[in-house]
Structure 1
Amino acid sequence: MADKLDKLLSDYFTGILDANIKLRRAELKYFSKHAPDENIGGGRKQNDYSNPVELDMIREEDDEMLSAWIMQKEIIETFFNITVEPQRTILYERYGHKKSWLAISLIVHANERTCQRWRDNFKNGIAGHLYSTLNGMSF
C-alpha cells in the first residue's frame, strides 16, 4: 500500500492528479453513455425534461473514479497546507522533482534520516484518510 501512496503523492506534486481530474471530467462531458431511445410506440415522449448542466453534474457526482481523485486531492492539500515549511520543501522536492535524500537534506539543512522521518510522518497522517480511496484504484 505504501507504493500506491508514494505514487499518489508523486502524481499530486507533479500535476498528474489535476490532469487526470480534468481529463475525466472531459470524458464524462463528451463521451456519455446514453442508451438509444427505444420509444417505438409512435407517440411523443411524456415528461421529457432535459437540462444539460444538471445532467453533467449528476454524471460527475456518480463517477467513482472522479470522486476518489477529487477526495484524494483535497485530503493531500489539507494536510500539506498545515505542515511547516521544511516539511513542505521535503515533500515538494522528493515527489515533485524526484531528488535524492542527500540533495534534499542539503536544501533544508537537516539530516537525511530526519528528512525521511518528516516524510513518513506526513504519509502516516494522510494514510488513514486515503486508504479508503485507494482500495479500488489501480495504478
Structure 2
Amino acid sequence: MADRLDLLLSDYMTGMLQVKINSRERWITREKHEERIGSSGNGSNTAPQERNYLIKEADKELGRLNDQKQTLDELMEVIQGTKVKEIVIARFKYRLSWYKVGQRVFLDEDVARQQYRAFKKTLRDGLWRDTLD
C-alpha cells in the first residue's frame, strides 16, 4: 500500500510534482476580470510581475510543493551512484514491480525493499517529520 511519501516520490520521478507546481502557479496568479463601476483605471499600484511574485510567495501550498521538490532535487544529487537511487528510479519512474526492481539493481527483491524502507525512514525522521501532512 502506497503512503504519502511513496506518492510524493512517484510524482517527483514522473514529473508530476513539477506539473502540480506549474498548475498551482497558474491558478493563483490568474487574472480575475472584475467590472469596476464608477472607477477608472487600476486600483492597485503594483506591477503585474510584482503582484504575481507576491501572490506566489504568500501561497503556502505552492511553498510546500516547491520545498518538497527542492529537497528531492538535492537528495537525488546526494544519493547519486547508490543502489537506493537506482531502486527509487526503477520503482517510481519505470513503475517496476519489486521483483523487477531487484533484478534491475542486482539485488534480492527483499533486500531492495529493505534498502528502500530504510531510505524512507531516514527521510521521515530527518527531513519531513512535519512536512508530509
For 1:3-42, list aligned pairs within 5 A: 3-31=3-31
Match of 1:55 among 28, 46, 51: 51
Relative distance call for 1:121 and 1:53 in structure 2 (3 A) is same
Q: TM-score under structure 1 normalisation?
A: 0.79
Identical residues among aligned pairs (%) = 25
Match of 1:96 among 93, 96, 99: 93
- Classify the secondary structure of the residue corresponding to 1:132: coil
Q: TM-score under structure 2 normalisation?
A: 0.82
For 1:47-126, list aligned pairs within 5 A: 49-83=45-79, 84-126=81-123
Gaps of 5+ in 1: none
Gaps of 5+ in 2: none
Distance 2:111 2:75 in 1: 19
Cα RMSD of the aligned pairs, angstroms, is 2.6
2:25 aligned partner, one-letter code: R
Task: Report if the CA contact (8 A) 1:75-1:130 is conserved.
Answer: no
Aligned pairs, number? 130
Distance 1:14 1:63 in 2: 24
2:48 aligned partner, one-letter code: P
| C-alpha displacement of 1:36 | 7.2
